[in-house]
Amino acid sequence: MSKIALTPNASGTGTLTIAAPNTSTDRTLTLPDSTGTIDTLGRAGNVLQVVQATTSSSSSINSNSYASTGLSVSITPTDSSSKVFLTSNFGWSCNTVDFGYYAFGVNGTADTNTTIVCFNQSSTGATNSLYYSTISYLYTPGTTSTQTYTLQFRCGAAPTQTMYFNQRGVGGASGLCTITAMEIAA
């Protein structure tokens, strides 16, 4: 039979207490058969939670002001010092040989620090091709309040230009777009 030994630290002055939770269920904690240190989720760099949203819906805009694409995700940080890594993969097209902008919206307001520019390849590509882009950013919300992140877009040359989110031109095919938020311990 294996034995369990608790070895105190000769330099430490604190008391280590192992407390049982308030439960009526028997639990077993199995230790690994190797030497190491027990990690805590709160260690810097650990992923504490992951939230993802998807859509196959599409939308369009012909304005120079940012608007929601309809793709959003909400996450409630467990610690105010946590960071939130946000990434989105999405399809787009536009009806002219031009460009549009995509950015994350934080609680409804576009964050232009995250802006990426999407260029259309050709006038025929504008109605016949669905391009794909990825946008990522690391936020420091500084709160434990729920944060809602939305993928937003706007035109580069409105009103003659129309940008399509997750759509190949008017009535064209669409795909599956994602937005993922990961809470990272700081």
pLDDT digits (tens, 9 = 90+) for 90-141: 998 888 777 889 999 999 999 999 999 987 655 554 455 788 899 999 999 9
pLDDT at 147: 97
- Whether the model pTM is above 0.75: yes
- Write down the CATH number for the domain with range 47-184: 2.60.120.1340
pLDDT at 19: 86
Ranges 11-15, 70-74, 172-176, most confident: 70-74
- Is residue 115 helix, strand or coil? strand
Other beta carbons within 10 Å of 131: 15
pLDDT at 127: 55
Q: Domain residue spans in the chain?
A: 47-184
Indicate the burial class of 71 (C-beta count within 10 angstroms; 0-12, 13-18, 19 or more).
buried
Indicate the burial class of 16 (C-beta count within 10 angstroms; 0-12, 13-18, 19 or more).
exposed
pLDDT at 12: 87
**What's the residue count for the chain?**
186
Q: What percentage of residues in the chain have a pLDDT greater than 70? A: 92
* Close Cβ partners of 183 (under 8 Å, ≥ 6 residues apart): 47, 48, 49, 50, 75, 77, 78, 82, 83, 84
- Is residue 8 helix, strand or coil? coil
Q: Tell how strand 177-184 and strand 47-55 pair up.
A: antiparallel
